[in-house]
Structure 1
Amino acid sequence: MNYKRLEIPELILCEPKLHQDNRGFVFEAFKKESFNSFVGFEVDFCQDNISYSRLGVIRGLHTNTYEFAQSKLISVLKGKILDVAVDFRVNSPTFGKVVSLELNSEENKQLFIPRGFLHGFSVLSEDALVMIKIDRYFASGESIGIKYDDEDLAIDWKIDKKFIILSETDKKLSKLKDIKSPFIYGKNYY
């Protein structure tokens, strides 16, 4: 596995080494020792979540309150998505900065998003199967989020607005400037 820090250095792109032959391919999707060594701290993934979505779906932007924040490792098992992370750490030099990249089931790249970031994705293929490894269990009532179309973030989700599909919950999310409790930059959430 090759690891690469992105424009916000806490965000890490994981690029597998595919071993291909006439049968297909195999690759190492995750190796705790090398991953934690590159990240520089212990991430203890405890649960894998899988979501199925169809073309036009946007899920996000979400995180949990900081006492229940989760790190995430995003993989696409089928299809193609635009994966989006937003720095949600107040006083961070990159607070509110958006990093987005396409992930798909052909290249099998993964995105690591640590605690302190909002996360979301849009489905760019007919459908998509997405796996998200998390390092803390879900805490009911602790989810917070930002509107996908917040003008201060200006995210291009690569979907025509008339085809966007949102949950009722995501339609009611706040704007970034209206959130009262973002994360604190420099605080250790691990």
Structure 2
Amino acid sequence: MNTKVRIRVYYDRQSLGFAIISFLLILLYLIILAFGQRGVNAATFQTSQTISTNMQQFYLTKQAFPGGEALTACATGYHMASLWEILDTSNLRYNTTLGFTRDDSGQGPVIGAGGWVRTGFSNDTSNTPGKGNCDGWASSDSGDYGTAAYLPYLDWTTGGDIGVWKTETDQCNASWWSVWCVENVGYTIYLPIVLRH
């Protein structure tokens, strides 16, 4: 009982090309849909975890450094902060283990104590707050200047603004400034896995 089934399909080149392209597009769409959905779910889960429990951390070093050593002052997993990274402290968590604290600082940064901070400006040695950066934090020379930032002491009885950073410049050889550090942020990228048989 050897039965053979024979099917004849008639086509021309144009319809075959259209069928192949249509099949490949549908296959590509299904692959993107399948793998893309996994990436969205994982990204959504990770984002909600970050928002609820793992806020980016920052701190002011306990030790002081001259300007030329500021870039290497932060602990592993942290980098010297730009003022723009730490400007809004409500989005950050102060690391009280690594950071300088005072009796009444609670879980937040201290007031009146400052540190070198990156400016976002080109390499500069001028005595201008927001510009001076010890020649890109490479200089500890007394003739060069860098920018330091601090949360100032405030007279709360006057009803003024609270939480405004103050900046000033100092000579890069000054060894009484700490350094503002902020946690490195990692990003996860999900790519499809291609398996070969």
**Which protein has greater RCO, CA pairs closer than 8 Å, 6+ apart?**
1
Scaled by the length of structure 1, what TM-score is found? 0.27
Structure 1 or 2: more strand by fraction: 1
* Higher helix proportion: 2
| Larger CA Rg, structure 1 vs 2 | 2
The TM-score, its normalising length taken from structure 2, stands at: 0.27
